[in-house]
Amino acid sequence: MTIENISQAKVFGGWHKQYTHESQSLNCSMRFAIYLPPSATPATPVPVVYWLSGLTCTDENFMQKAGAFRAAAELGIAIVAPDTSPRGEDVADDENYDLGKGAGFYLNATQAPWNTHYRMYDYIVDELPALIEANFPVSSRKSISGHSMGGHGALTIGLKNSDRYRSISAFSPISNPMQCPWGQKAFAAYLGKSVESWKAYDASELLKQHMAKLPMLVDQGDADNFLHEQLKPETLVHAAQLHNSDLTLRMQPGYDHSYYFISSFIEEHLRFHAKYLLA
């Protein structure tokens, strides 16, 4: 569980740091970023929000563009941002942006050549939190959030692991990947032709099965170019209503799919998580 610090910068009294490590889940070298608020010490470990980014992103997009550090410093919450897929010369890839590197979809691939490295579900759920908790002044209390493909990841991981997280939030999540082009392409490649196996990684399908045990906050811009074809938040709402799951969906007028949108509401999301992490 050796990690190597490759960059750091002080911000709002805390520290933003980047690290690399060799991942056993993914069979490659991985990079992640962490923000530690000034209150984080071995004597006072802080809870963590795990942020999952979208297609084509790395750990840097959220940390550089979301403007989350002031609120995280005030609240005393760490933020961890992993990469969105395995990386390396021997890692399978595709010429299109929505499959392969940068498009891990936070699942465990079962199909060749993807199954050699693409086990992002195991990495996010098990390996990365163990690494973070072993090397930084953080507690085991954690919540999960994300954007677009990462919103899909946050919802599905949180719903399937309610004993590990305190709350879930998402911006513009791919809410029903089985029924949209991005999801269908990725699931067919990573998981194979059996549509039944896809349901384990579809938040709408998971909510149809039983009531969510965790509170969920979702923000969606109504000017998002991907809203109707790819994101389908209405399916998430309908699925949540079946078992009275605690889902709040906020349609935000005029906002698009960008980090301008995320930066406008990220403080509210951190305060939402703080209610459950700091209680």
Can you tell me the mean pLDDT for 169-186? 98
What is the rounded distance in angstroms from the CA atom of residue 125 to the CA atom of residue 157?
Answer: 7
Q: What's the pLDDT score for residue 230?
A: 98
Using pLDDT thresholds of 50, 70 and 90, give the confidence band for residue 57: very high
Give the pairing type, strands 138-147 and 168-171: parallel
What is the rounded distance in angstroms from the CA atom of residue 225 to the CA atom of residue 109?
Answer: 28
What is the rounded distance in angstroms from the CA atom of residue 217 to the CA atom of residue 49?
Answer: 14
CATH number at residue 137: 3.40.50.1820
- Burial label for 49, CB within 10 Å (0-12, 13-18, 19+), is buried
What is the rounded distance in angstroms from the CA atom of residue 233 to the CA atom of residue 251?
Answer: 9
Q: What's the pLDDT score for residue 26?
A: 98
Q: What's the pLDDT score for residue 1?
A: 74
Q: What is the pLDDT of residues 140-168, one digit of tens each?
A: 999 999 999 999 999 999 999 999 999 99
Which position among 53, 148, 167, 204 bears the catalytic label?
Answer: 148
Q: What is the pLDDT of residues 232-278, one digit of tens each?
A: 999 999 999 999 999 999 999 999 999 999 999 999 999 999 999 99
Which position among 16, 117, 257, 273 bears the catalytic label?
Answer: 257
Q: What's the pLDDT score for residue 15?
A: 98
Handedness of CA 57, 58, 64, 66 (dihedral sign): positive
How far is residue 64 from each of residues 9, 17, 173, 219, 223, measured CA to CA in Å? 12, 12, 20, 20, 23
Q: Which of 19, 26, 57, 56 is nearest to 123 (CA)?
A: 26
> Is-above-0.95 flag for pTM?
yes
Catalytic residue list contains 224 = yes
Catalytic residue list contains 264 = no
For residue 240, the enclosing domain spans 3-278
Catalytic residue list contains 243 = no
Can you tell me the mean pLDDT for 43-66? 98
The average confidence (pLDDT) of the chain is: 98
Domain tally, the chain: 1
Which position among 25, 224, 245, 273 bears the catalytic label?
Answer: 224
